[in-house]
Amino acid sequence: MTRNRVVASLALLALTAAPAAAKEISSARICGASGCVEVDDERTMAALFRGGSPVDPPAKGAAWFRANLTVRAEGETVDVFRVSFVPSRGLMGSGNAEGGYMWTSLSDRTVRRLSAATDGLVALPAAELEGTGPVRARVDEVVLPPDDPAPSAGPPWGWIIGGLGAAALAGAFTLRRFRPLRGLLRMPRPR
C-alpha cells in the first residue's frame, strides 16, 4: 500500500469515528459525608468513567466516595452513572442491588488522581458501602422438565440389525474376493 493510501485510510477512519466521539462526560460530582465537589478536570472525569479490570467485590466495606457522572450527546443528557470509589482498596464499583454490582481495580495513578479530587472531603462510612462480600448467585427463572416426558423410542433394534447385515455383506465380499487364493493353498494330491 502506498503512503498516500495509508494517509487517506487514516483520514477516512478519523472522519467516521468523529460521530462516536460526540458522546462525552459533561460533568462529574464526587460526594462524601462532608459534602460534594464538582470535577472539572477531564482526565479525572475520564478516570471515573473508565475504571479498570474486573475484580471480585471487597470482602467488607471501607471508607468510600460516591461519584455521579453525566454523559451527554449533542447537548442532551444521555445517561447518569453512579460509581463508588474506595481509595484504600484501589477499587471502583458500579451497579445496584437489583442488577448486581461490578467492581474494577484501579491503577495507582488513577487512585492518586481521584484521591486528589476528594482532598478535603470526609469519606462516607464503610457500613454504607453496598455490593461487598462474596458474590451471590441470583436465580431469575427456574425451568423444570415437562410433566409428561416424550415416550422412549425403545431399544435400537433397527440399528443393531442393520449393523449385523452390513457386517455379513462385508464378510461375504471378503470371502468372494479372496476365493482365487484358495487354489494356491491346496496341497497337490499324490498320483
Res. 17 pLDDT band, cuts 50 70 90: very low
Check: CB of residue 63 under 8 Å from CB of residue 34.
no
- For residue range 40-64, what is the model confidence (pLDDT) as tens digits? 888 887 777 676 788 888 888 888 8
176-189 pLDDT, tens per residue? 666 655 555 555 66
Q: What pLDDT does 12 receive?
A: 35
User: Using CA atoms, how far apart are residues 90 and 63, in angstroms rounded to an integer?
Assistant: 11
Distance of alpha carbon 8 from the chain centroid:
35
Task: Tell whether domain 22-128 is in CATH 3.30.160.
Answer: no
Assign 3-class secondary structure to 19-81.
CHHHEEEEEEEEEECCEEEEECCHHHHHHHHHCCCEECCCCCCCCEEEEEEEEEECCEEEEEE
Report whether pLDDT(170) > 70: yes
Domain boundaries, the chain: 22-128
Could you tell me the three cell numbers for 144?
Answer: 423444570
Band the pLDDT of 21: cuts 50, 70, 90.
very low
Total-model pTM: 0.56
Q: Which three cell numbers stand for residue 148?
A: 409428561
